[in-house]
Structure 1
């Protein structure tokens, strides 16, 4: 009887130690993931304009072996990039924005898939998708990468291959002015003349001189 009780006690101790070990490993993995997410530079991606986000994705796909074609700035027929790897061609639409990507983006990239005769169609955004966009994407066979999936995608790539968003911000001229909150800025007029003001005013009151 005593030996049986000892065996049960030993079993409980082993299980407790294993659970504690798993808990510590899980905490370590979560901390490591947070550190990698921080290095991704999502806050800098949020500060990009649409053109800079396209260039960032072009560098990202090139780094992992895709051939990349950047479509014309106008009349792109719904795709910002055409990427190809292992005989698979993909129409990619890049959506750097501050609100949910709607159904029109799915419609546009579906049209791009037909126009460019690609095998797949993807939309990548730093934000999220509306429920209508998700529903249509399922039926149209369009792959959606929201903020979370975009980060997961980047985390799967070796850190040395991932482009640094801050370098894009500094090296690629923006075609739009982006506020520090991530929203677009528009020209406003005050007593001293024109200036850049956040589109989200009065929620955000950040301003910037026009140079």
Structure 2
């Protein structure tokens, strides 16, 4: 997961660096040929606008791809991809979504909001059931992020102890079955795996 995050950071730095380089080249080239700062600034602004449009197009394509996914696709995702996918699912349900790097080495969390209510979401893609440690982390995240409640979303299930602990705290558990329901709301043609 650390390798994937490093790759994503490298892509972001490369993208911004390329934009900065193109803006500088456009500005200098235009200024050297026209001797006008106004024309040079317009050329540089054009490059920035083009980058923004391309970035919006790429984001839109990712959202369209996410809308066509099903639970089988989630099973082969890495943790960061699962977090991004959940962001798309919550956006489709009308939530605003903010991705935050967790203070520990636990990856990232989502802060979702709707109707003035903020919720911290922990995404856990596991092959086994989630235990009480995750519920304790979710409970601590409520105070840390100053939100009303915490949700834990997984593509598996929860242990009985985790379920009991979550019920006595402001932690909502969203196991595989409820996740599939969310996916079907977004993509009614999604394949439902046999039980």
CA contact (8 A) 1:79 1:109 kept: no
Structure with the higher helix share, 1 or 2: 2
**Which residue, out of 134, 143, 148, partners 2:177?**
148
TM-score w.r.t. length of structure 1 = 0.53
Give the drift of 1:65. 1.6
Q: Give yes or no for the alignment of 1:96 onto 2:110.
A: no
Contact 2:101 2:108 in 1 (8 A): no
1:159 aligns with 2:182: no
Contact between 1:93 and 1:124, CA under 8 Å: does it hold in 2?
Answer: yes
Task: Summarize the Cα distance change of 1:140–1:78 in structure 2 as closer, same or farther, 3 Å threshold.
Answer: farther
Task: Write the deviation string for residues 124-168 of structure 1: whole angstroms up to 9, x where unpaired.
Answer: 00001011100100001211011111112333x3438x9x9xxxx
Cα offset for 1:60?
A: 1.2
Question: Given the alignment, which residue of 148, 157, 168 partners 1:128?
Answer: 157
Distance apart, 1:73 and its partner CA: 5.5
2:158 is paired with a residue of what secondary structure?
coil
* Match for residue 136 of structure 2 among 87, 90, 107: 107
Q: Is the Cα contact below 8 Å between 1:78 and 1:109 reproduced in 2?
A: no
Distance verdict in 2 for CA 1:97–1:146, change over 3 Å: same
Provide closer, same or farther for how the CA distance between residues 135 and 66 of structure 1 changes in structure 2, counting only shifts above 3 A.
Answer: same
In structure 1, the partner of 2:44 is none
Kindly name which structure, 1 or 2, has the bigger radius of gyration based on alpha carbons: 1
Distance 1:90 1:79, change over 3 A: farther
Q: Which residue is equivalent to 1:69?
A: 98
Give 1:75 deviation, angstroms.
3.1
Return the offset for 1:81. Answer: 0.4
Work out whether residues 98 and 127 of structure 1, in 8 Å CA contact, stay in contact via their aligned partners in 2.
Answer: yes
Q: Please list every run of 5 or more consecutive structure 1 residues that lacks an aligned counterpart in the other structure.
A: 1-38, 165-211
Report SS of the residue matched to 1:122: strand
C-alpha displacement of 1:77 = 7.7
Unaligned 5+ runs, structure 2: 1-67, 191-195
RMSD of aligned alpha carbons = 2.4
Give secondary structure in 1 for the equivalent of 2:130: coil
Aligned length: 123
Distance between the aligned counterparts of 1:72 and 1:91, measured in 2?
Answer: 12
Contact 1:78 1:93 (C-alpha < 8 Å) held by counterparts: no
SS of residue in 2 equivalent to 1:140? coil
Distance 1:98 1:115, change over 3 A: same
